Homo-oligomer: A and B are copies of this chain.
């Protein structure tokens, strides 16, 4: 009963603060949200909420703003994702429909997400852990240098430029190529790596060094999770909307967004296919103290091959953002399913 109202007050504070960007006072609150009680009552509730650490005042005679804990409570218990309207769903579908390419899908997803949420969007490329080896190409550029091209079932392509320890005749190269192809083609990359690892042992003595180098490069290219770790960022212009809304400047944000490694860690927290929210100082990223991340895994079927999400100021529209992230993840997943 009274507990209920206190939470209603918290919800109202969060909603108003997110909408206006300004500390919200007791009077404005009762006016905008028919709470059916007087400002004085609300003030009492606010005092309690403040004791619990859910809200705070920036300075003595100002309204309250939610703390990180307040947002957490709001997200976990006081709201549900507002479903997308039919029009929005259609817009999403038609926007993503036109993509013909993995790159294109990722590209469009980022734009879409940034546009829907008015935040910075991040999309990770689908991992290739379950991919199989479609083809391996070994091309001699000059006698001592070869180009390795690894084509995976997912459509991803890895390339490696290689210096060989000894010069190689066109014939030997053809031999190496055919052995490698026989060993790896069609296999999952995890299996292929093993099969390839055994190859040098069978090789003729003089080719053994060459084999080792090539196999090592291929195995590295396969297991190298760098390839999984590509992310695309979009909507950075939305950062400017907050002006000095962030603590200090937007510089640390821009820097963090260029550090794709950091972004991957952020997304990595959200591998499940349900939407995850990190708020403010939760997690070990001091430089992102005043930001929240809304992310989710996505991928064909139910398995999450990669993650996508948005990052914005803690004072963001959580229900809307969560809904948008979930919706985009679902559509992207179905598209990946088809191909």
Q: Which A residues are within 8 Å of any B CB, using their own CB? A: 100-103, 134-135, 137, 139, 141, 145, 147, 149, 151, 155, 157, 159-161, 234-237, 239-241, 243, 249-251, 254-255, 257-258, 339
Contacts and interface: CB of A to CB of B under 8 A. Distances in A.
Contacts of A161: 100-101, 155, 339
Contacts of A137: 134-135, 137, 151
Interface centre among A101, A139, A145, A254, by most chain B C-beta atoms within 10 angstroms, is A254
Given A159-B102, A161-B155, A239 B258 contact: no
A240 B250 CA distance: 7
Contacts of A236: 236, 254, 257-258
A160 B101 contact: yes
26 contacts: A101-B159, A101-B161, A102-B159, A103-B159, A134-B137, A134-B147, A135-B137, A135-B139, A135-B149, A137-B151, A139-B151, A141-B339, A145-B339, A149-B151, A155-B161, A157-B157, A234-B258, A236-B236, A236-B254, A236-B257, A237-B255, A237-B258, A240-B251, A240-B254, A241-B251, A250-B250
A149 B157 contact: yes
Interface of A, secondary structure class, is mixed
Contact of A100 (B160, B251, B255, B257): B160
Given A249-B243, A254-B240, A147 B155 contact: yes
A226 B147 CA distance: 24
A134 to B, nearest CB: 6
Nearest to A259: B237
A102 B237 CA distance: 28
A210 B199 CA distance: 38
B149 A139 contact: no
A100 B157 CA distance: 15
Contacts of A149: 135, 151, 157
Contacts of A254: 236-237, 239-240
Contacts of A139: 134-135, 151
A137 B181 CA distance: 14
Contacts of A141: 339
Q: Give 9 closest A-B pairs by Cβ, nearest first.
A: A240-B251, A237-B254, A237-B255, A157-B157, A236-B254, A240-B249, A100-B161, A135-B137, A134-B139
A100 B234 CA distance: 27
Nearest to A234: B258
Nearest to A99: B161
Nearest to A156: B159
A113 to B, nearest CB: 13
A139 to B, nearest CB: 6
A339 B155 CA distance: 25
A227 to B, nearest CB: 11
Contacts of A234: 258
Contacts of A155: 147, 159, 161
A148 B108 CA distance: 21
Contacts of A249: 240, 243
